[in-house]
Structure 1
Amino acid sequence: MATKKQKFLPFLILLISVGVAIGFVMLKEPPEEKVPEEFVQVVRTKPIEVTDLVMTVNSQGMIMPEEKTVMVAQVGGKIVKLAPAFRRGGMVKAGDVLAWIDDSDYQTQLVEAQANLASARAALQQEKAKGRVAEVEWEQITNASPSELGLRKPQLAQEVARVRAATAGVSRAERNLSRTQIIAPYDAIIDTRNIGLGSIVGSGSVIGELSRTDIAQIRLPIADKDMGFLNFQGIDAKVTLSALFNGVPTQWQARIVRNEGIIDSKSRMNYLVAEVVAPYTLEKPLRFGSYVTAQIDGIVIPNASIVPRHLVEARGLAFATQDNKLHFEPVSVVRQQGDNVIIAGDLSNYRNIIVSALDAPVEGMKISVMAESSAQDAQSVAVSEAK
């Protein structure tokens, strides 16, 4: 049988082991508490350009002449001569004769009218002489008063009327004779010619069509929302026209001369009319029928900037302050231009706009601005990995 000492020995060893373990735990130093590190986002920035920005409105249109005229014969006859410039694309000056109609009959009519006028004037002089003789004879008669007929006044009035009619006949014959020459009313380019040498034309026959070249006009459609960016409804605004000339991109300058003042019922557009003076005398002529794009200068927005649209959020625009903190500055979006927007606001105290994505941004949080060279290196690595 085991003794009492043998029975309690295992319990004694267990108690001693527990005591030693507790002693070791008591002697061990507590672990140092770690201070949590503050998370600092790394961002990329670029300087924001703030300037007085001239707003522009874009449009397009066709170059057209200020005037087009259909030339019509006012007298009939045979075409006996044509000017060399009277052909499609020919350039003519005001007063140039384009075509001649046979005038022999009209010369004859003029001679006849002049003869009638000479005869009427002679008859008038004779009647005046007869009237003076009648007055002298009536002066010798003392017992009666002369009548209008006795003084030959009706006869004189009749001869005066005949002279006037004959004078009108001469004027008509002279006009008809002058109308045998088809004359250009202004500097123009010939659009069409409807006659040839030897053609027989009558009064009202279409001779041809020409376009005035001293002024070109462009009718520019403008959306109603863009009219607010123009001064004085666009009147007198500077316009830059762009198109290809012989395959080369070329620009011309124009000016808005009027606002039609009516919104088109189909397109719902306003229309401004721009003019170019003497388009065919320019170094690179602005030809009728050319399709051009137009950039119209408008109002000036002070302290404006152009930034990518995705950088503007409800709180404003994200900036990196001088002490490397995040700041959202409220801005006003003036206009959207494709992927960019034009903003306005007091940005004089901020220079660097944050262009990289922000993770849970909070106003005033600390940020780390990546150096420009580091940003370029990171971009190069990303491009290389993508390849």
Structure 2
Amino acid sequence: MASKKQIFLPIGVLVIAGGLFVALSAMKKPPQQKQQETVAPLVEVTPVRLTDVTMKVNSYGEVMAQEQTELVAQVSGQVVSISEHFVKGGFVKEGDVLVRIDPNDYEAALIEAQAGLAQAQSALEIEQAQAHVAKTEWQRIKDNANAVIPSELYLRKPQLAEKLAKFKAAQAQVKRANRNLERTYIKAPYDALVTAKKVSLGSVVNPGNMLGQIDAISIAKVRLPVANHDLQYLVDGGIGADVALTSEVAGKVRTWHGKIVRNEGVVDKRSRMTYLVAYVDSPYEQSEPLRFGAYTNASITGKHVTNAAIVPSYLIRDDRIALIDDEIKLTFSSLEVIREQDGMSYVTHGLDDGQQIITSALDYPTQGMQLRLDDEPAQTPMTQLALKED
């Protein structure tokens, strides 16, 4: 049998342990009230700036001459002289003789025609005199009661008509000979740049042979494709609008100014673009010549809008934008966006000057949620009863 010591010793240990537990439980303090802290999202903002905006429509195109002429021989013969300026890249003035075709045969033809005209004129004058004599003779004898009406032949009217016809034909021959002689001079019809030369000294040419090509330098033309939806941003469809053309020349970006003069009036079948035509006056007389064949970017001046804001397009969702109000809370504003271009939106209604636009991302934005800026404390205290007694 177990001894009393073996029986009562474990019991005593349990009693002592129970007493200690009761004493410690009596010493336990109730939980203290704590402050639950909420963190308002940190945001970045930028102020709204209303300004006057002039719309721009961007395009591109190749610089071309307004007028381009192929020089073609109209008479046959040997080329006896060529102007020193009639070379590819040369500049010529209006009226300059570029090519001369041997004129000898045409000078001889003119002399023959002039001689024929002199003969026809002489014959006409003789016939006119004879017709006058015949008419006078008839006037003398017409008082005779037995006189009959004279025939046309008697009055020499057919003969006179024949001589008059030959005289006019001779005049035409002189005119034709003069014209052919003038065509031996190939002249520049306007101030131009020579873009092609296809004849050499001593060459024999025939009517229809191409001698060269020249481009007028008074005006440069640029065809500018514009998308249909961009036409709404231009006044009068762009007619009369200023246009700035930019191109890189010798490693530097150069700018030239011109005007839109017309709309080609059709939509291109392949690109579905409308083409506007811009003119630049005296392209080769600029401080930096605007050369034919150059590729340029164009900025067409469009409509003028007052009190507009330009904001990044990514900040707008469903035509609304997030703002921060005077209480540092989130609010939304509905916008009227008139255009989006190059990642920016043009806004005419929905924003006031000085309002703060939220530019940073928010996970779950809701109307009226509390926000904070960089210069505010990180936490906003809210006193609550956190725990209850066990």
TM bucket, shorter chain: 0.7 to 0.9
Q: 1:127 is matched by which residue type in structure 2? A: E
TM-score by length of 2: 0.85
What per-residue deviation string (whole Å, max 9, x for no partner) do you get for residues 14-67 of structure 1? 9x969x869947xx8754433533432222222222222222111111001112
Task: Please name the residue that 1:286 is paired with.
Answer: 290
TM-score by length of 1: 0.85
What per-residue deviation string (whole Å, max 9, x for no partner) do you get for residues 184-218 of structure 1? 11111111111111111111111111111111111
Following superposition of structure 1 onto structure 2, how do residues 322-341 of structure 1 map, counting pairs within 5 Å?
322-341=326-345
The 1-side partners of 2:308 and 2:82 are apart by 62
The 1-side partners of 2:192 and 2:353 are apart by 59
Show structure 2 runs of 5+ residues with no match: 5-11, 378-390
Highest RCO, 1 vs 2 (Cα 8 Å, sep ≥ 6): 2
Question: Percent of counterpart pairs with the same letter?
Answer: 44
Q: Does 1:74 align with 2:64?
A: no
Q: Does 1:53 align with 2:57?
A: no
Residue 357 of structure 1 deviates from its aligned partner by 2.2
The 1-side partners of 2:98 and 2:158 are apart by 49
Residue 149 (structure 1) aligned to one of 153, 159, 166? 153
Asked if the contact 1:303–1:347 (Cα under 8 Å) also holds between the matched residues in 2, the reply is no
The 2-side partners of 1:253 and 1:69 are apart by 26
Task: Please name the residue that 1:185 is paired with.
Answer: 189
The alignment partner of 1:43 has SS state of coil
Show structure 1 runs of 5+ residues with no match: 3-9, 375-387
The range that moved more, 155-164 or 35-44, is 35-44
**Structure 2 vs 1, CA of residues 371 and 86 (structure 1 numbering), >3 Å: closer, same or farther?**
farther
Residue 353 (structure 1) aligned to one of 357, 364, 376? 357
The alignment partner of 1:319 has SS state of strand
The 1-side partners of 2:76 and 2:111 are apart by 19
Q: CA RMSD in A?
A: 2.8
The 2-side partners of 1:182 and 1:69 are apart by 12
Residue 309 of structure 1 deviates from its aligned partner by 2.8
Asked if the contact 2:48–2:353 (Cα under 8 Å) also holds between the matched residues in 1, the reply is no
Task: Please name the residue that 1:131 is paired with.
Answer: 131
Asked if the contact 2:87–2:196 (Cα under 8 Å) also holds between the matched residues in 1, the reply is yes
Asked if the contact 1:326–1:363 (Cα under 8 Å) also holds between the matched residues in 2, the reply is yes
Residue 253 (structure 2) aligned to one of 234, 249, 262? 249
Asked if the contact 1:60–1:294 (Cα under 8 Å) also holds between the matched residues in 2, the reply is yes
The aligned length equals 362
The alignment partner of 1:174 has SS state of helix
Residue 307 of structure 1 deviates from its aligned partner by 2.4
Task: Please name the residue that 1:120 is paired with.
Answer: 120
Asked if the contact 1:55–1:300 (Cα under 8 Å) also holds between the matched residues in 2, the reply is yes
Residue 304 (structure 1) aligned to one of 302, 308, 329? 308
Residue 358 of structure 1 deviates from its aligned partner by 2.1
